């Protein structure tokens, strides 16, 4: 599949409190993490500044973490690739792909990936609420 997708000016990385702790809030560098199904390390990104939780695949169905608690903005989009056009997506079987993209409920056209570390800016305007310090910590 070859798509002609206009690369957005910014992409966004949403994450939970645990990952925010790792990434930090200044001089931020996002690092690719191993995806168990794909067997490769990727950073997951979205073109949407304020995505729908379900469409962007960040529901809390499988974990208690709020994976949309924090937002990072990536302006260096050179190494970012659209998920739909990726070789990684092509490795998934039909059933896996269906599960991955939530049986059509997700909006994978909004998904972007990077295999390279990305500089990012922590967006304080997204979450002015205090960091939860409760039982979600491992
Ligand atoms: Zn977490």
**Whole-angstrom Cα distance, residue 123 to residue 114?**
20
- Name the pLDDT band for 128 (thresholds 50, 70, 90): low
Please state the rounded mean pLDDT for residues 5-29.
Answer: 93
Please state the rounded mean pLDDT for residues 74-97.
Answer: 95
Taking a 5 Å cut-off on Cβ, the residues next to ion ligand 1 are: 16, 18, 65
CA angle (34, 35, 37) in 5-degree steps: 140
Please state the rounded mean pLDDT for residues 86-114.
Answer: 94
Q: How many A from CA of 136 to the centre of ligand 1?
A: 7
Q: How many A from CA of 3 to the centre of ligand 1?
A: 33
Q: How many A from CA of 64 to the centre of ligand 1?
A: 8
Q: Considering just the CA atoms, what is the radius of gyration of the chain in Å?
A: 15
Q: How many A from CA of 69 to the centre of ligand 1?
A: 10
Mean pLDDT of the chain: 88
**Whole-angstrom Cα distance, residue 39 to residue 71?**
25
Query: If you count DSSP H runs as helices and E runs as strands, how many of each does the chain have, helices first?
Result: 3, 8
Among 27, 17, 9, which residue's Cα sits nearest to residue 127? 17
For residue 109, what pLDDT is reported? Answer: 94
């Amino acid at each position: 599949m070859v798509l002609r997708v206009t690369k957005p000016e910014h992409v966004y990385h949403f994450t939970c409190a645990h990952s925010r702790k790792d990434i930090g809030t200044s001089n931020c560098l996002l690092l690719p993490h191993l995806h168990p199904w794909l067997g490769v390390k990727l950073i997951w990104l979205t073109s949407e500044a304020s995505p729908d939780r379900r469409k962007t695949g960040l529901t809390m169905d499988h974990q208690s973490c709020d994976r949309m608690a924090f937002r990072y903005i990536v302006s260096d989009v050179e190494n970012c690739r659209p998920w739909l056009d990726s070789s990684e997506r092509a490795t998934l079987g039909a059933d896996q792909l269906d599960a991955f993209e939530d049986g059509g409920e997700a909006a994978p056209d909004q998904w972007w990936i990077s295999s390279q570390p990305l500089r990012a800016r922590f967006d304080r305007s997204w979450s002015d609420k205090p960091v939860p310090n409760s039982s979600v910590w491992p």
